[in-house]
């Protein structure tokens, strides 16, 4: 659902299996799954947290990516 919901907003998607890459989970403080982080031009913008509906995902992602980058979690 994410590739379709974020078409035009995201050029790439990277999936990490934190059960195999536990260092990634520790580094980002991931405690619940799925966890979706939005980056643009290599800079962190926000964690995407919203209802799992394509229109909602697209709207929230647009708002988050329009805001200035933040410090990584």
Convert the pLDDT of each residue in 14-27 to its tens digit.
Answer: 888 888 989 988 98
pLDDT at site 43: 93
27 is a domain residue: yes
Taking residue 20's Cβ as centre, other Cβ atoms within 10 Å add up to: 8
19 is a domain residue: yes
50 is a domain residue: yes
Q: How far apart are CA 55 and CA 14, in angstroms?
A: 21
61 is a domain residue: yes
Name the domain count of the chain.
Answer: 1
29: phi > 0 → left, psi -120 to 50 → alpha, else beta; which? left
Structure tokens at 25: 């989970």
72 is a domain residue: no
Domain of 12? 2-66
Q: What is the pLDDT of residues 4-63, one digit of tens each?
A: 999 998 888 888 888 898 998 898 888 777 888 999 999 999 999 999 999 999 999 999
71 is a domain residue: no
57 is a domain residue: yes
CB 48 within 8 A of CB 61: yes
């Amino acid at each position: 659902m994410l590739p379709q919901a974020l078409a035009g907003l995201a050029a790439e998607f990277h999936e990490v299996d934190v059960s195999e890459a536990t260092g990634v989970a520790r580094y980002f403080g991931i405690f619940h799954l799925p966890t979706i982080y939005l980056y643009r031009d290599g800079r962190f913008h926000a964690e995407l947290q919203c209802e799992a509906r394509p229109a909602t995902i697209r709207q929230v992602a647009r708002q988050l990516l329009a805001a200035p980058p933040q410090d990584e979690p």
